[in-house]
Amino acid sequence: MHQYYNYVTDKIVFGQHTRVSLWGEGRDFTFDAVLAPAQALPALPHGGRDRLALLTCSAQISNIVDSPIGVIPVTRDEVSDEWRAAPGNGSKIIEGEIYRPKGAYNLSVQKGLPVGVQVVTQPY
């Protein structure tokens, strides 16, 4: 129980520091909203992220600090195989889960799926 209490306390402190850094408190500026990628890829079909929770880390942080989030589609996936042909640009393990022949990013299924941005605002 003591570990859980410490975890909740740390979460609250982290949330307070994050809200002050984003939304200001006694500062000369504040943001009305923050635009961020909804995830690191265009939308995946349902079940496509079962091993790729890291793709949604920006949304997870916003949820931890209790900031409201909305995701807005801004374009559609035009389906490209360019990334597969490029040299490694990140974690080989994650790239394999995404781009291998039976990976999460399936060119035949992705076409036309939305690519969105998340709008993060102040807690109200």
The domain locations on the chain are: 34-120
Which pLDDT score, from 0 to 100, does residue 3 have?
A: 92
Which pLDDT score, from 0 to 100, does residue 9 have?
A: 93
Which pLDDT score, from 0 to 100, does residue 29 have?
A: 63
The region, left, alpha or beta by phi > 0 then psi within -120 to 50, assigned to residue 33 is beta
Which pLDDT score, from 0 to 100, does residue 10 have?
A: 93
Which pLDDT score, from 0 to 100, does residue 13 have?
A: 92
Alpha-carbon Rg for the chain in angstroms: 18
Give the SS3 label for residue 117: strand
pLDDT along the chain (124 residues), means of 10: 91 86 69 80 68 71 82 80 62 72 73 84 78
Which pLDDT score, from 0 to 100, does residue 51 have?
A: 67
Q: How far apart are CA 99 and CA 46, in angstroms?
A: 17
Which pLDDT score, from 0 to 100, does residue 87 have?
A: 62
- Give the helix ranges, DSSP H, for 35-81: 57-64
pTM exceeds 0.75: no
